[in-house]
């Protein structure tokens, strides 16, 4: 089981690395794309380390994170929309570098990289707090409501972290056009959250009470 999980995880990792690399550098027309290399490093090095940590300490959580087979039709639409968004964002980042379309100065990329790593740390903390987190919307056997730590601030801290991650990515790449494209993630994640909360209300005991206790879904004091 562990060997199978390792092969599945490393295959998914290498496929993601190859896909992002090809989209960025082929579109850029060169390997000399400093912002592209910066994103590759800060995205995939922590991902590689986190994968090994989960493999050693919580393989069940890693298996859940690798599962992308959604049962909810609305969530399948969310996955397709997100895929198209990422494809367009990375493609236009490379093209922007090649043709000089609305490129940001490199210091902006450095600041965005720091923000990205902070968001990555928040994401890791959420995984530590909630071992029920899968990539699909479902209620798992034995699942209980988590209301401590970041879950005491917002009901969906993982999505809060992903918003920061995804909006900082195009800034790391230095592309204004890609940043505009990535703004599409906001309505996409709002749709996912609304559907997910409906599923949790129906199947997770105590979730309705938790909603009354923690009023904000994604951003403290805003929404």
Tens digits of residue pLDDT in 31-61 = 999 999 999 999 999 888 887 877 777 777 7
Domain count, the chain: 1
Q: Look at the chain and count its residues.
A: 223
Q: Is the pLDDT of residue 211 over 80?
A: yes
Q: Is the pLDDT of residue 136 over 60?
A: no
The answer to the question of residue 117 being in a domain is yes
Backbone angle region of 140, left / alpha / beta, with phi > 0 → left and psi within -120 to 50 → alpha: beta
Task: Please tell me the distance from the alpha carbon of residue 122 to that of residue 156, in angstroms, as a whole number.
Answer: 12
Are the CB atoms for 157 and 122 separated by under 8 Å?
Answer: yes
Are the CB atoms for 26 and 90 separated by under 8 Å?
Answer: no
CB proximity list for 63: less than 8 A, separation 6 or greater: 5
Task: Please tell me the distance from the alpha carbon of residue 190 to that of residue 192, in angstroms, as a whole number.
Answer: 5
The answer to the question of residue 148 being in a domain is yes
Are the CB atoms for 158 and 122 separated by under 8 Å?
Answer: no
The answer to the question of residue 70 being in a domain is yes
- Residue whose C-alpha is closest to residue 137's, from 195, 187, 191, 81: 195
The answer to the question of residue 50 being in a domain is yes
The answer to the question of residue 221 being in a domain is no
Q: The tokens of 217 are what?
A: 């879904």
Better pLDDT: 118 or 52: 118
Q: The tokens of 55 are what?
A: 């493999």
The answer to the question of residue 220 being in a domain is no
Within 10 A of 111 (CB to CB), how many other CB atoms are there? 13
Q: The tokens of 49 are what?
A: 């380390």
The answer to the question of residue 173 being in a domain is yes
Query: How big is the chain by its Cα radius of gyration, in Å?
Result: 18
The answer to the question of residue 161 being in a domain is yes
Q: Is the pLDDT of residue 73 over 80?
A: no
Q: 60: number of CA atoms within 13 Å, CB side?
A: 6
Q: What is the CATH number of the domain that holds 50?
A: 1.20.120.1630
Are the CB atoms for 137 and 199 separated by under 8 Å?
Answer: yes
The band of 68, judged by pLDDT with boundaries at 50, 70 and 90, is low
- Domain holding 110, by residue range, is 2-213
Q: What is the mean pLDDT of residues 110-128?
A: 91
Tell me the per-residue pLDDT of 148-200, one tens digit each, with 9 for 90 and over: 888 888 999 999 999 999 999 999 999 999 999 999 999 999 988 988 888 88
pTM for this predicted structure = 0.85
Question: Phi and psi at residue 103, in whole multiples of 5°?
Answer: -85, 140
């Amino acid at each position: 089981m562990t060997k199978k999980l390792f092969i599945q995880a490393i295959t998914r990792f290498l496929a993601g690395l190859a896909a992002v690399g090809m989209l960025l550098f082929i579109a850029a027309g060169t390997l000399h794309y400093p912002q592209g290399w910066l994103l590759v490093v800060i995205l995939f090095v922590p991902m590689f380390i986190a994968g090994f940590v989960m493999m050693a300490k919580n393989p069940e959580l890693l298996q859940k994170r690798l599962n992308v087979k959604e049962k909810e039709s609305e969530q399948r639409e969310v996955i397709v929309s997100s895929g198209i968004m990422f494809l367009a964002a990375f493609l236009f980042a490379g093209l922007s570098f090649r043709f000089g379309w609305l490129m940001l100065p490199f210091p902006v990329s450095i600041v965005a990289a720091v923000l990205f790593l902070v968001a990555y740390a928040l994401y890791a903390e959420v995984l530590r707090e909630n071992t029920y987190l899968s990539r699909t919307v479902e209620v798992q056997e034995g699942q209980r409501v988590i209301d401590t730590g970041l879950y005491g601030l917002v009901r969906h801290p993982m999505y809060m972290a992903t918003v920061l991650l995804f909006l900082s990515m195009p800034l790391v790449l230095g592309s204004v056009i890609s940043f505009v494209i990535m703004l599409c993630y906001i309505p996409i994640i709002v749709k996912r959250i609304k559907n997910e909360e409906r599923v949790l209300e129906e199947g997770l005991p105590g979730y309705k009470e938790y909603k009354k206790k923690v009023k904000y879904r994604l951003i403290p004091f805003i929404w």
